[in-house]
Structure 1
């Protein structure tokens, strides 16, 4: 690939719940941020929710002895 390359890349995201795909998502990078603003916002929210859930589980494990 060179600096003269013009195009876009497709990225696919699968959302798994209990080992099953519950959502399939695609973003075409190269179309511009404005075109994909809704998709980027959605993915950012999902990552934040996942991180929050992981943090809550970690705190719960530290508080509740086994």
Structure 2
């Protein structure tokens, strides 16, 4: 099984661990997870089902 949350991706490939602390890569991780899981970016969670990241759609 692959990562299904932002925290799961962080544990595996360490985005957000650099100088910007995720300022550049975290939005991209959210959109990649949404695409790969076939869900809306609004449904992507950080860790648990009640830890949604976005309140409304953002543009990259």
TM range (shorter): 0.3 to 0.5
Identify, as 1 or 2, the structure richer in strand. 1
**Whose radius of gyration is greater, 1 or 2?**
1
Q: Give the number of the structure with larger relative contact order, counting CA–CA contacts within 8 Å between residues 6 or more apart.
A: 2
